[in-house]
Amino acid sequence: MEKYDIHIVGMGNLGTAFLSGLERLDLNIELFLYDDSSDVREIIKNNYLKDTYDSIPSIEDGVLILCMKPQNIISFFDNNKENIGNNVLVCSPVAGLEIGTIEQYLKNPILRIMPNLLIRNNSGFIPFSSNYEEDYISFIKNILNKLGTVKEFDESMFPIITAISGSGPAWFYELSKQIVNSGFELGLSEEESEMIIKNLVNALPSLLNDDETFNDLINKVKSPGGTTEAGLNSLDNNSFDKVIFEAMQKATQRSIEISKELSNE
Ligand SMILES: NC(=O)c1ccc[n+]([C@@H]2O[C@H](COP(=O)([O-])OP(=O)(O)OC[C@H]3O[C@@H](n4cnc5c(N)ncnc54)[C@H](OP(=O)(O)O)[C@@H]3O)[C@@H](O)[C@H]2O)c1
């Protein structure tokens, strides 16, 4: 396999998830890390024994992964577009940042992705869309595929994918937090309740399979007149479906708003 130079700008949550995931791969990759915060550079040095630089040099080939917040991305393009050669594959996980907006600054192959943090363990879900036809420098086949499940989508689907998958871990953490709080309110200590739910969440992946829907799995847990049914009925009576739908709708809308804000900057 050819050698890949991979430059990651922004070493926060997602940048470090990429770093962890890529470091686990036994591939011919050279990593270059950047973050404008000296505190973050120090953390990376201590935790990963790697140097991180404050700004990118002139980059002529390889892959540039942009792991900055949406509010920082336009000034990054303004300040660095001259340093990014046209052969560089620009890979953007930035929520709301459309390929067309990046093209206003860079004439490069552009790969838009919306991974979740599970790329850290090479078990992420990585939806993508791009402005090129073939798998440029085989990055999807050779690298992205190894960080999780990769699937191409029309770019118009990105706002909803961002809501349900990019932000996805947070929905499950919030649900878990509420169950932990309930366990505490009902008599367990906070530590006991948290330990029980962390065990539960850890065990859940082994119960998932491709043949059964979530509804099938629910039916396996609940029995007529039982405890699960009592709780599910309460969720139903309190419009759990509506609460969740509205949250997904709000997150989707916010992604669309961010796209508009970025394309007008
Ligand atoms: N976290 C997720 O689960 C997730 C999932 C999918 C997509 N994303 C996308 O990934 C991006 C990063 O999210 P995050 O949660 O990792 O954010 P984060 O934890 O805030 O990390 C961003 C890092 O980038 C640094 N930075 C900002 N501007 C920079 C610049 N010009 N040059 C170098 N470093 C710079 C920030 O430093 P300062 O703090 O000093 O600004 C910060 O350390 C966002 O656009 C988000 O939409 C995140």
Domain 4-154 class, CATH top level: alpha beta
- Cβ atoms < 10 Å from Cβ of 156: 9
Please give the structure tokens belonging to residue 30: 């050279």
pLDDT(215) > 80: yes
What DSSP assignment string belongs to 5-52? EEEEE--SHHHHHHHHHHHTS-SSEEEEEE-S-HHHHHHHHHHH---E
Mean pLDDT for all residues in the chain: 96
Q: In the chain, where are the structural domains located?
A: 4-154, 168-256
Q: What pLDDT is stored for residue 166 in this prediction?
A: 87
Helices (H) and strands (E) in the chain, counts: 12, 8
Atom 46 of ligand 1: nearest residue by CA position:
94
Give pLDDT tens digits for 64-105: 999 999 999 999 999 999 999 999 999 999 999 999 999 999
Percent of the chain at pLDDT exceeding 90: 94
Q: What are phi and psi of 72, to 5 degrees?
A: -100, -10
According to the model, what pLDDT value does residue 8 have? 98
* pLDDT score of 232 more than 90: yes
Judge whether residue 1 has pLDDT over 80: no
Same fold, 4-154 and 168-256: no
User: In the CATH scheme, what architecture does the domain 168-256 have?
Assistant: Orthogonal Bundle (1.10)
How confident is the model over 162-192, as pLDDT tens digits? 999 989 999 999 999 999 999 999 999 999 9
For range 183-205, the mean pLDDT? 97
Q: How many CA atoms lie within 13 A of 85 on its CB side?
A: 9
Tell me the mean pLDDT in the region 1-6: 89
Report how far ligand 1's centroid is from the alpha carbon of 150 (Å): 22
Residue 22 to residue 68: CA distance in whole angstroms: 18
Q: What is the pLDDT of residue 2?
A: 81
Residue owning the nearest CA to atom 21 of ligand 1: 12
Query: What is the per-residue pLDDT for 151?
Result: 97
pTM of the model: 0.89
Calculate the alpha carbon distances from 13 to 40, 67, 85, 101, 115 in Å. 11, 9, 27, 24, 12
Mean pLDDT of 49-64: 97
* pLDDT per residue as tens digits for the range 102-143: 999 999 999 999 998 999 999 999 999 999 999 999 999 999
Q: Do residues 131 and 113 make contact, with C-beta atoms less than 8 angstroms apart?
A: no
Atom 31 of ligand 1 has which residue's CA nearest to it? 76
Q: Which residues line ligand 1 (CB under 6 A)?
A: 9-15, 34-37, 40, 67-70, 72, 76, 93-95, 114-117, 166
Residue whose Cα lies nearest atom 25 of ligand 1: it is 10
Q: Which atom of ligand 1 sits closest to the CA of residue 17? A: 16
DSSP-assigned letter for residue 121 = G
Confidence grade of residue 37 (pLDDT, cut at 50, 70, 90): very high
